[in-house]
Structure 1
Amino acid sequence: MEDYTHLLQPVIALLLSSFISFRAYRKKSLDLSGALTGFFIVGIHIAVNYRIGALILVFFFTSSKLTKVGQEKKRKIEDEFKEGGQRNWAQVLCNSGVATVLALILWKINGSEDMCLNTEESVSITCLLGGVIGHYACCNGDTWSSELGVLSDSQPRLITTLKPVKKGTNGGVTRTGFLAAAAAGGVVGLTFLVLGIFTTRCAYNVALKQLLVLPLSTLAGVFGSLIDSLLGATLQFSGFCTVRNKVVGKPGPTVKKISGLTILNNDAVNLVSVQLTTILTSIACSYIF
């Protein structure tokens, strides 16, 4: 009698990714292109490794919920406001493409077997897992910071000059935003730790050392948000439109410049900050674990 247990994980991945993508499309968290892209991305994550799959799901569900908080206030502030925070395929790839590549490399090296962060056992797997943690800590941190920071009653300040700026200005930061980024990174690390109890078997000293993931992911969330803000303040244009009475991302005859150059758009800023955080977290894991 043939053993089909090896097919169980891909089947679960297919069913879950189908359900999540369809639900996200119906609730307007993703447009059609984003839902189709998300179907493949989420499916790959879960099929490769349940714990990696959990990280993308925590990021997606928490960020989607926070995007819908305070929509009336955000509609008045945000230039490119979309009902339900609807994301397209490009935004999905910017927030998950790098991690998907790392997940596929992990699968090529180790199949679907999950492992602890332990350089004595495997430096490459430890670095790859660390990169995925850093990736989603950054994405989650940036999203939580943006979605909650804009709702803060405190006046945002431009990260490069610390001068007060209007809400919605790229590179404008608040204390609430930084605290949200730290919490978001911590949630990613906590998810990795809790799932690891069920998916890995490690020696006691190695298992104890895994607790360092929590402060590491918290720092990655803050660092990712910080880099995103620095790039937004310098390489992404912000200006105030006197006609629409909003901060906008493109220059024009009725737009007074606030900060930044027209080099990167929001997706590019996210991608660069994710890549930097992923690389640095991966390197940090090679020393810590």
Structure 2
Amino acid sequence: MTPLGLRVFVSVMLSAAIAIRALRRKSLDCSAAIIGFIVMSIHLATSYRFGALLLVFFFTSSLLTKLGEEKKRSIDADFKEGGQRNWVQVLANSGIASALVLFVGHLTGWEEPTLSSEGSPLVKCLIGGIIGHYACCNGDTWSSEVGMLSESQPRLITTFKSVPKGTNGAVTTTGLLAAAAAGCVIGLTYLLVGFFTGDYRGLKPLLVIPLSLLAGVFGSLIDSVLGATVQYSGICQVRKKVVGKKGPTVKRISGSAILDNNGVNFVSVVLTTFVTAILFLYVF
């Protein structure tokens, strides 16, 4: 079996197992499990490193989503048991990366892509975009899930005024530190898997870690700014929870109802992916 054939076989088997497990544990609904299977297969078949980034994001985010469920249930009006995600959320967090992964595979002839000095500048740019994409998604998820459990009072990023927990665009120091850690984990994952699948020379590849850390924080901040401005937040006087839609019993806290949470995530991912791609083009 050729290296590509082996990767395809491993990717299909592993992706199917993970999708079934996620469905049983209610991390994904049926539609999300199907889309997730396709997305994971694409990533793993193109590069084990790309697959590792997706899997680390998925598993760590799912774990943190389930952390402190009782407290989150009392705060989050849209709380779902197990943090179950649908197909829209899966595509919002992996659609752009999947397109970039396929493009990288096409450019490299489906060989393992690297950041070596001899590599194509466009491939390096795309690799940076993929890493930035998952650093952003991971950073946003970690900051939200950990920040919600923080004892400190969140503040709206645009005004720094204290707001209720669960308000879109609210930040805490704990949440920002979590975003930095999340980005760092993505960079570290790419680097460690690369030692087994790539050809690293010198210390330059270590720069992936700080760049990923910055992408995690940048993505989280962009998400917060968008959440505070173009995503509606209000407090329901009956349920005593923050909600994302207007209503007769809802008092506005911040933002306008221009984008929903998926839209905000998509825009922040696009911006972070682009910025990180440019950084990798110049650094590597």
TM class by smaller structure: over 0.9
Alignment counterpart, residue 184 of structure 2, candidates 178, 183, 186: 186
Deviations 1:123-175 (A, max 9, x none): 01100100000000000000000000000000000000000000000001000
Alignment counterpart, residue 74 of structure 2, candidates 53, 73, 76: 76
The 2-side partners of 1:163 and 1:34 are apart by 37
The 2-side partners of 1:93 and 1:102 are apart by 13
Q: Secondary structure at the match of 2:166?
A: coil
Q: CA deviation at 1:258?
A: 0.2
> Which AA in structure 2 matches 1:141?
G
- Report the equivalent of 1:153: 151
The 2-side partners of 1:125 and 1:118 are apart by 10
CA contact (8 A) 2:36 2:90 kept: yes
CA contact (8 A) 2:47 2:113 kept: no
CA contact (8 A) 2:46 2:112 kept: no
* Aligned-residue RMSD, C-alpha: 1.0
Q: What's the % identity of the aligned pairs?
A: 62
Q: Secondary structure at the match of 1:150?
A: helix
Matches for 1:91-110 after TM superposition, within 5 Å: 91-110=89-108
- Report the equivalent of 2:125: 127
> Which AA in structure 1 matches 2:80?
K
- Report the equivalent of 1:112: 110
- Report the equivalent of 1:195: 193
The 2-side partners of 1:140 and 1:95 are apart by 9
Q: Could you state the TM-score of these two structures normalised by the residue count of structure 2?
A: 0.98
CA contact (8 A) 2:39 2:98 kept: yes
Consecutive aligned runs of 4 or more in structure 1 exceeding 4 Å deviation: none
Q: CA deviation at 1:115?
A: 3.3
Asked if residue 215 in structure 1 is aligned to residue 213 in structure 2, the reply is no
- Report the equivalent of 2:266: 271
Alignment counterpart, residue 255 of structure 1, candidates 250, 253, 260: 250
Deviations 1:201-238 (A, max 9, x none): 14x33xx1010011000000000000000000000000
The 2-side partners of 1:4 and 1:70 are apart by 45
Structure 1: segments with no counterpart, 5+ residues: none
The 2-side partners of 1:120 and 1:219 are apart by 26
> Which AA in structure 2 matches 1:127?
C
Q: CA deviation at 1:7?
A: 1.7
- Report the equivalent of 2:227: 232
> Which AA in structure 2 matches 1:21?
A
Alignment counterpart, residue 165 of structure 2, candidates 150, 167, 170: 167
